[in-house]
Amino acid sequence: MKLCSCVAVNEYQVDQENEVSDFKVFDLSELRKVTNGFSPSCIVSEGGEKSANVVYRGKLEDNRLVAIKRFSRLSWPNAQQFLAEATSVGKLRSNRLVNLIGCCAEGDERLLVAEYMPNDTLSKHLFHWDNEPLPWEMRVRVADFIAQALDQCNITDRKIYHDLNAYRILFDEECDPRLSTFGLMKNSRDGKSYSTNLAYTPPEFLRTGSIVPESVIYSYGTILLDLLSGKHIPPSHALDLIKGESILVLMDSSLEGQYDNEVATKLVDLASKCLKSETKDRPDTKFLVSGAAKLQKQKEEVASHVLMGLPKYRVILPTLLSPLGKACSEEDLDAVHEILVKSGYRDEEGAENELSFQEWTQQVQEILNTKKLGDIAFRDKDFKKAIECYSKQLVHMMPRTSATVCARRSFSFLMTEEPNLALRDAMQAQVTVPEWPTAFYLQALALSKLGMETDANDMLNEGAAFDAKRQ
Residues 194/163, Cβ–Cβ less than 8 Å? yes
Of 58, 66, 64, the closest CA to residue 33 belongs to 58
- Average pLDDT over all residues of the chain: 81
End-to-end CA distance of the chain: 29
Q: What is the pLDDT of residues 25-60, one digit of tens each?
A: 999 999 998 888 888 778 886 554 444 578 998 888
| CA pair distance 115, 111, nearest whole angstrom | 14
| CA pair distance 148, 287, nearest whole angstrom | 10
When pLDDT is cut at 50, 70 and 90, the band that residue 375 belongs to is confident
Type of residue numbered 135: P
The domain defined by 323-470 carries CATH number 3.20.20.70 = no
330 burial via Cβ count (<10 Å: 0-12, 13-18, 19+): middle
Q: What is the pLDDT of residues 17-27, one digit of tens each?
A: 344 347 999 99
**DSSP letter string over 240-285?**
HHHTTS-GGGTS-GGGTT-S-HHHHHHHHHHHHHHT-SSGGGS--H
Per-residue pLDDT averaged across 223-242, rounded? 86
> Looking at residue 180, what is its pLDDT?
94
> Looking at residue 94, what is its pLDDT?
92
| CA pair distance 440, 459, nearest whole angstrom | 5
Residue in 163, 176, 347, 425 annotated catalytic: 163
| CA pair distance 356, 432, nearest whole angstrom | 20
CA distances from 336 to 117, 162, 296, 417 (A): 32, 44, 55, 16
| CA pair distance 438, 436, nearest whole angstrom | 6
When pLDDT is cut at 50, 70 and 90, the band that residue 15 belongs to is very low
Q: Which of 111-115, 146-150, 207-211 has the lowest mean pLDDT?
A: 207-211
Q: What is the pLDDT of residues 422-454, one digit of tens each?
A: 999 999 888 888 889 999 999 999 988 888 877
| CA pair distance 320, 390, nearest whole angstrom | 32
**376 pLDDT higher than 60:** yes
> Looking at residue 298, what is its pLDDT?
64
Per-residue pLDDT averaged across 388-410, rounded? 75
CA distances from 149 to 22, 64, 122, 268 (A): 19, 23, 15, 20
Respond yes or no: is residue 163 known to be catalytic: yes
| CA pair distance 293, 266, nearest whole angstrom | 12
Residue range 122-307 forms a domain whose CATH class is mainly alpha
Of 38, 70, 66, 34, the closest CA to residue 51 belongs to 70
Per CATH, the homologous superfamily of domain 12-115 is: Phosphorylase Kinase; domain 1 (3.30.200.20)
Is the pLDDT higher at 219 or at 237? 219
**299 pLDDT higher than 70:** no
- 177-180 β-sheet, strand order: 97-98, 177-180, 169-171
Q: What is the pLDDT of residues 323-366, one digit of tens each?
A: 888 888 878 899 999 999 888 887 664 444 444 444 445 556 66
Its pTM surpasses 0.85: no
When pLDDT is cut at 50, 70 and 90, the band that residue 377 belongs to is confident
Backbone angles phi, psi at 418, to 5 degrees: -130, 65
What are the residue ranges spanned by the domains of the chain? Answer: 12-115, 122-307, 323-470
Between the ranges 170-174, 197-201, 390-394, where is the mean pLDDT highest?
170-174
